[in-house]
Amino acid sequence: MQVDELLKPFPIKEFHPFPRALMGPGAHEMIGPEAKNLGFKKTLVMTTGLRGSDTVHKIVESMKYHGLDVVVYDKVESNPKDYNVMDSVALYQENKCDSFVSIGGGSSHDACKGARISVAHDGRNVNDFEGFNKSENPNNPPHIAVSTTAGTGSETSWAYVITDTTTDPDNPHKYVAFDDNSVTSLAIDDPTLYYDCPIDYTAQCGFDVLAHASEPYVSRLNFEPSLGNALRAIKLTAENLRQATWNPTELSGREGMMYAQYIAAQAFNSGGLGIIHSISHAVSAFYDTHHGLNNAIALPRVWAFNMPVAYKRFAEMAGAMGVDTHGMTDVQAADAALAASIRLLRDVGIPERFVDVKQDSYSKNRLGQGPTKFYEQASVIKGDDTDVDRITNHVLGDACTPGNPKECTFETVRPVVDHSMNGELDDLLS
């Protein structure tokens, strides 16, 4: 799938819609009145359960206080699976619901967006809608998305990501569906809901933001309306992620990351992504590892891969990350941006290679604990030749790959995947 194949027939670039949003401390307390204004009567709440937090309980009780009937589906998994979506669709139909609320991060929001598309098509399997604008009925149920992490931006984007568990267990498939009909009715971003986020999870979600911001800034789409948001989100992430990670109840860091994740998603919404995300999707398809963690490990390698075709853009990113680039050439400044990304990764304590990720590496880890026999057999990331080959092949079929600024073939991408698996970050700085 080459980007030229997608763009040649459509030289006019498309700006995709955003939902209305409420942002700031206390915003989640508005969900009851807002749901009533949108005509909600009986709502399916979709969430991961948010273990160790009373966030779901508080929001559900607030909705009930405002006269809404609520049914809760709290079994959404990290890297949401097709059966999570279809189980929630069955619950929605069985209880004759008329609306959705998702509470959590990208997993909850993505599963909910997929469920809405399925409901609008009489319960068709969500896997039928992989690709670009595959849904045919725009009249799907209203949806309020309440974010409890600063990472995905799914509450404001037209994308949702699902793992298809019906494929060959030796060749699992995780896909992105881009669909204007999946955009939420209302986004609610409240930084006080991030306080309960574990330290490592906060850091990993923050690198999802940096990937969302940096990829459209160098994308082949080169979409002007996305560039300002992308660069601003890079700056906000560099300024706030350390504080949000290590001082989690300090409002300024959490609020800075709230805005960073939101506008980064708005940047990629029309500006495209690249192979940071393609590698992340591939690794989580095989190992069920956290998306933000995957992005963090892949990001420096993909930056190094892409820099030769976008030195000036990477030089501008260095300035946004706080590097004093006065007197530097574009090449020197681009190298400094790469060094700054590695410094940030190390400062927030993220593993540096995929083979370093173990079952106890992070609090949300599902390595070896997934829903199928394949995941049970994948309790250790091998990083051997077979592993690198199959992940590279998955990358080449990913919907994000055509936006990558540098041409991607098996021969060019395989070394990037191999280094993400096994290489040392210091090698990139030499």
Q: How far apart are CA 362 and CA 200, in angstroms?
A: 6
pLDDT band at 170 (very low <50, low <70, confident <90, very high): confident
pLDDT at 372 over 50: yes
- Confidence (pTM): 0.95
Asked if 111 and 156 touch (Cβ cutoff 8 Å), the reply is no
What angle separates helix 410-422 from helix 275-287, to the nearest 10 degrees? 60
pLDDT at 403 over 50: yes
Distances in Å between the Cα of 54 and the Cα atoms of 104, 198, 246 are 12, 14, 22
pLDDT band at 1 (very low <50, low <70, confident <90, very high): very low
For the chain, the first-to-last Cα distance in angstroms comes to 33
Mean pLDDT (whole number) for 157-186: 92
The CATH number of domain 3-194, selected from 3.40.50.1970, 3.40.190.150, 3.40.1190.20, 3.40.50.970:
3.40.50.1970
pLDDT higher at 178 or 172: 178
Number of neighbours of residue 117 by Cβ within 10 angstroms:
25
Q: What CATH architecture does domain 200-246+258-429 belong to?
A: Up-down Bundle (1.20)
Distances in Å between the Cα of 284 and the Cα atoms of 111, 353, 357, 370 are 16, 14, 12, 10
Residue 81 DSSP code: B
What angle separates helix 385-396 from helix 275-287, to the nearest 10 degrees? 130
pLDDT band at 359 (very low <50, low <70, confident <90, very high): confident
Residue 404 DSSP code: -
Q: What is the pLDDT of residue 207?
A: 98
- For the chain, give every domain's residue range: 3-194, 200-246+258-429
Q: How far apart are CA 85 and CA 120, in angstroms?
A: 13
pLDDT at 13 over 60: yes
pLDDT digits (tens, 9 = 90+) for 319-334: 999 999 999 999 999 9
Mean pLDDT (whole number) for 148-170: 92
Distances in Å between the Cα of 223 and the Cα atoms of 131, 185, 311, 327, 408 are 21, 25, 17, 29, 20
Beta-bridge partner residues of 73: 46
Q: How far apart are CA 85 and CA 67, in angstroms?
A: 26
Distances in Å between the Cα of 406 and the Cα atoms of 3, 190, 311, 328, 337 are 11, 37, 12, 24, 18
State both tokens at 134.
């595959």
pLDDT digits (tens, 9 = 90+) for 22-60: 999 999 999 999 999 999 999 999 999 777 689 999 999
Signed CA dihedral, 343, 409, 356, 105: sign only: positive
pLDDT at 5 over 90: no
pLDDT at 263 over 70: yes
pLDDT digits (tens, 9 = 90+) for 59-81: 999 999 999 999 999 999 989 99
Q: What is the pLDDT of residue 358?
A: 85
Report the percentage of the chain scoring pLDDT > 70. 94
Asked if 241 and 299 touch (Cβ cutoff 8 Å), the reply is no
Coil, helix or strand at residue 184 = coil
Q: What is the pLDDT of residue 168?
A: 78
Mean pLDDT (whole number) for 276-293: 94
pLDDT band at 117 (very low <50, low <70, confident <90, very high): very high
